[in-house]
Amino acid sequence: MGLNRRQLLYLLGASGGAVALGTLPQQAKAQSAPAAEGPHTLAPLPYAYEALEPYIDAETMRFHHDKHHAGYVRNLNAAINKYPNLRNQSPEDLVRNLDSLPEDIRQTVRNNGGGHVNHTMFWQIMAPNAGGKPTGELARAIDSSFGSFEAFQEKFNQAGSGRFGSGWAWLVLEGDKLAVTSTLNQDSPWMSAMVPIMGNDVWEHAYYLKYRNDRGAYLKQWWNVVNWPEVNKRFLQARGR
């Protein structure tokens, strides 16, 4: 028996807590959602919930940002608050140095610190009226590493479609060369000494309301919202490290 709309929304919002359905105005601007008090915060989306339509719908953006991402920040703060000496570390530092963390919070930071870092990038590397192809040094690096932009797209989409269950597809800087990889759950490339340049979320909550179980269609349409100037900026920053 198929799920109705209310059941789908409940399932997709479950990890963020109870959801009051039907109370948000359709044209509401994106806002930061409450998170547990602590050193890490949930920034508002850099655009309105509906700004990425028709490729990503406003309802998905509300649940994804205000419930799922907020939940990662809340859980991360709850873990870090146990150890005041960790409060000054950035989320990236925390996930880069998991082995140095107290064992009782290590997995929590892995899951929720990773989720916070991954999603903070995710919102920024998308934009309305975006897409197309990269230019400049990033475009040249992609051609050098993969042969062509089209070959890179195919490899990136394969990383997303081939990830069993939940996870991410990534463009990373590994040493001095670009590479495509994927990670499980909310693992970050930072955990494997790679610098994330661009990532696409292939958890079902990122696409299920619009694309149902057709992850391939989501992966194909996602290129229409890629903010290439932001991705290029991240590439130049990573290479400068």
Average of per-residue pLDDT across 13-33: 41
End-to-end Cα, the chain, rounded Å: 52
Q: pLDDT value at position 37?
A: 86
Q: At residue 133, does pLDDT exceed 70? A: yes
Q: pLDDT value at position 1?
A: 41
Q: 189: buried, middle or exposed (CB in 10 Å: 19+, 13-18, 0-12)?
A: buried
Q: Report the candidate in 100, 31, 92 with the shortest Cα–Cα distance to residue 66.
A: 31
Do 40 and 116 meet the contact criterion of CB atoms below 8 Å apart?
yes
Least confident of 31-45, 127-141, 165-179: 31-45
Percent of the chain with pLDDT over 70: 85
The per-residue pLDDT for range 56-100, each reduced to its tens digit, is 999 999 999 999 999 999 999 999 999 999 999 999 999 999 999
How many CB atoms lie under 10 A from the CB of residue 155? 16
Q: pLDDT value at position 23?
A: 33
The per-residue pLDDT for range 146-157, each reduced to its tens digit, is 999 999 999 999
The per-residue pLDDT for range 96-130, each reduced to its tens digit, is 999 999 999 999 999 999 999 999 999 999 999 99
**Which top CATH class is 136-240?**
alpha beta
Q: pLDDT value at position 30?
A: 53
Tokens 């290479």 belong to: 239
Average of per-residue pLDDT across 179-188: 98
Average of per-residue pLDDT across 205-217: 98
- Enumerate the domain spans of the chain: 136-240
Q: pLDDT value at position 241?
A: 62
> Is the pTM of the predicted complex or chain greater than 0.85?
yes
Average of per-residue pLDDT across 198-211: 98
Q: At residue 33, does pLDDT exceed 60? A: no
Do 63 and 12 meet the contact criterion of CB atoms below 8 Å apart?
yes
